[in-house]
Amino acid sequence: MTDPAERAHLPQMDTAGTKHDILIGGVRDYTGLWEVAHFAKQDSSTASPDAVRRFALTVVAELVMDGCVEPGTLTGGGGFDVWEGTPSEWLDRITAEWPPGGATPNVGDVCWFSNTERGNALGKRLIADSEHDKGPE
């Protein structure tokens, strides 16, 4: 899904901004697949369900393949179990388990994402940059 030809068919939505939002949020908490779809809907309220799906899967693929997030399942006590398999297998599973018929995932559907060390470092840098850009109040 990270193929430039495939990306050219996505609606004009901000993948970089969405990835930044996920990484920043992931510093503090896990991110659900439903949230990625929600970011896509916020970015383009006129996007079709298929466009939201393609956009969300593109964002997820880029974050996973860049080693910034890992999918998994929430466990009791606030824990997280990373899925077994390779990043490519994770992406195939996420694509296959996306709700059918144009529906978007609900809270808890398919998977959650946890930032990796790399993802946390990037998220913290984005937070620091954002605070620096605000300047003194």
pLDDT, tens digit (0-9, with 9 covering 90-100), for 5-29: 444 444 556 789 999 999 999 999 9
State whether CATH 1.10.3510 applies to domain 4-134: yes
pLDDT, tens digit (0-9, with 9 covering 90-100), for 41-99: 776 667 788 888 999 999 999 999 999 999 999 998 889 999 999 999 999 999 999 98
Q: 71-74: long-range contacts at Cβ-Cβ below 8 A with a sequence spacing of 24 or more?
A: 71/33, 71/111, 71/112, 71/113, 72/111, 72/112, 72/113, 72/114, 73/111, 73/112, 74/30, 74/108, 74/112
Domain boundaries of the chain, sorted by first residue? 4-134
Instruction: Provide the whole-model pTM.
Output: 0.84
